[in-house]
Structure 1
Amino acid sequence: MTELNRESVEQALGAWTEPALGMDLITAGAVSDIRLDGDAVAIDLSLGFPAGRYQDTLRGTLEAAVREATGARSVSVSVDWSVGARQVQASLKPMDNVRNIIAVASAKGGVGKSTCAANLALALADEGARVGILDADIYGPSQPRMMGVAGQKPDSPEGKTMFPLENHGVQIMSIGFLIEEDSPMVWRGPMVTQALTQLLNDTRWDALDYLIIDLPPGTGDIQLTLSQKVPVAGAVVVTTPQDIATLDARKGVRMFEKVKVPVLGILENMSLHICSNCGHEEALFGTGGGQQLADDEGVALLGALPLEIGIREQSDQGAPTVTAAPASAAAERFREAARRTAALLSRQDPAGTSRFPNIVVDDD
């Protein structure tokens, strides 16, 4: 059996990969202290992503792994976390009251992007983060209905700025609050992009760790405005498994690469249909498309989400799956994808980090 000392504990920690980070906690810099008292070990963790709900699972798994590897009689793990602002585009800086903006995009419509955005926001809030969602789909806003606040209007005390609405523990803003639900937005591109920037900057967001921006499909005016004027820390690209969807999603990934916004990963939606009557599972849209796209583009697969009638019904009723059915397998998949997204974002450079390389002058 390995001798119990600090080195053996560090080796045990280094041999265990944290699923959300995709690396061991030593390499991630998440181990803030290790203390030994005879054959008892105490480990303090400090994570860069929210883990309010996840911490019990993490604590139990890690304690068992260290006990098995070192032979310690008892292992106790404490978990703390804080969300810091991450680097954004070189010409921009993070907003004062929003630490991180995450864009959720799809170059193709109909892949369930807005449903994914809503559930990601709810899952991050469920872990204890302060979260907002901005519905940037000016032509087809869907977040008011999905988040259960359709028909409500935001307060604007001085007629210039607005307080976001709030439901399910998430702050919400959408052009849908300012128009009738069935009114079409017959606007040209410049008006649409101006509306996006006003919705973002004129909303009184309250100390957010994450602002999820639900983008419209495509790679047009809104996406260009986002890259030029909005300080985005990372992007999530939603696709379905079939070739025609991953072909367009690839364009979305490369669009973000061109504008220097890190792609945190691919979220594969509708990966498997589960019959509500018999439970039979069938890959209606094929298999492996999201993983193949992630591998080809060198990014992570954040998760694979099922095609279930309940997910659609819950969103239509204003309580997405993470809120309506928190104990369901689908909700857990959304939470895993959200943790993975936040964890990968925490690995990005902190805001204010220099983008220039160190220059060393050698007299030789």
Structure 2
Amino acid sequence: MSDNCTSNCSTCPSKCDSSKPSREDLFEKSNEYSNVKKVIGVVSGKGGVGKSLITSCLSVLMRRKGYNTAILDADVTGPSIPKAFGVHEKALADQYGIIPAETKTGIKMMSVNLLLDNEETPVVWRGPVISGTVKQFWSEVNWGEVDYMFVDMPPGTGDVPLTVFQSIPLDGIIIATSPQELVSMIVAKAVNMAKSMQVPILGVVENYSYYQCDDCGKKVSIFGESHVEEIAKKYDLDVLAKIPINPEIAKKVDAGEVEEIEANWLDDAVTKLESKLVK
């Protein structure tokens, strides 16, 4: 605090740190009937690396362990979470707020596709409207009791990811990536954004890591050799999982049966999340 401080920041002639809003000051207030204990964002610097798959499978695995889980689908222009779970009913509302949809195993979710008359209608909205929608998913949805909420973020470091970082109290993020050379730069963007917003990075998950032959068991790096270990070391991050290329995964997701995927390649990630996010 400055020696010239008047204890009134609106009139104080000094520019002291106390006049700067903290990260918590920017958070949107959650629905009064919601009690969300932990919020984890799944992010990437580019699209097509499997954020929605990772989000879905982590929520499924946490649910299998007995936790109340939920998914906030912040990828408003590319919402894929409801289809992965085979959820097609529309969201309703009552005097307590918007009611999230529930999957077969009881995972709560909210996505723009649950609000549209037709799931195939494109969301042709400008940035402020999309950002406002994401805020509403946090503040106006009655999530009830949730142990772990996963936020499926849109790709990149633009307006909507920034809105999530600023408006929702993230306990940490997971960075989704793939085994290509350009990934180092993409991961760096996500890392630097998280650090600038003072959000902890829980680790990295690499998708499309390898294909394992059903006949001989040999692992083939179809997209090139993985660089995730060296990238993780560079930024002092944990590698939480390496997800294989498996047509059965895509088949289950397309059929709305993501809850039937064993997803044992994420077991270590779940264990690490539990240990890192213990109250």
TM-score class, shorter: 0.7 to 0.9
One-letter code of the match for 1:343? Answer: S
1:233, distance to aligned residue in structure 2 (A): 0.7
One-letter code of the match for 2:111? Answer: S
- Cα offsets for 1:35-61 (capped at 9, x unmatched): xxxxxxxxxxxxxxxxxxxxxxxxxxx
Is 1:175–1:199's contact at 8 Å kept on the other side of the alignment? no
Other-structure match for 2:270:
338
The answer to whether structure 1 residue 123 and structure 2 residue 61 are counterparts is yes
SS at the partner of 1:103? strand
TM-score (ref. length: structure 1): 0.66
Which residue among 85, 88, 91 is the counterpart of 2:25?
91
CA RMSD, 1 decimal: 1.9
Other-structure match for 2:52:
114
1:204, distance to aligned residue in structure 2 (A): 0.8
Which residue among 233, 242, 246 is the counterpart of 1:308?
246
One-letter code of the match for 1:299? Answer: L
Quick one: higher RCO (CA 8 Å, sep 6+), 1 or 2? 2
Which residue among 114, 133, 146 is the counterpart of 1:208?
146
Which residue among 90, 93, 101 is the counterpart of 1:153?
90
Is 1:123–1:338's contact at 8 Å kept on the other side of the alignment? yes
Is 1:276–1:309's contact at 8 Å kept on the other side of the alignment? no
Other-structure match for 2:101:
165
Runs of 4+ in 1 over 6 A off after TM superposition: none
SS at the partner of 2:210? strand
1:285, distance to aligned residue in structure 2 (A): 1.9
Computing the radius of gyration over CA atoms, which structure comes out larger, 1 or 2? Answer: 1
SS at the partner of 1:91? helix
1:275, distance to aligned residue in structure 2 (A): 3.6
1:133, distance to aligned residue in structure 2 (A): 0.4
State how far apart, in whole Å, the 2-side matches of 1:287 and 1:255 are. 26
Other-structure match for 1:38:
none
Counterparts in 2 of 1:89 and 1:130: CA distance versus 1, 3 Å: farther
Other-structure match for 2:74:
136
State how far apart, in whole Å, the 1-side matches of 2:167 and 2:82 are. 24
The answer to whether structure 1 residue 188 and structure 2 residue 126 are counterparts is yes
- Cα offsets for 1:222-249 (capped at 9, x unmatched): 1111122111110000001111233212
SS at the partner of 2:277? helix
1:253, distance to aligned residue in structure 2 (A): 1.4
- Cα offsets for 1:147-170 (capped at 9, x unmatched): 110x21122124x82111111231
TM-score (ref. length: structure 2): 0.85
Structure 1: 5+ residue runs without aligned partners? 1-87, 351-364
Counterparts in 2 of 1:340 and 1:185: CA distance versus 1, 3 Å: same
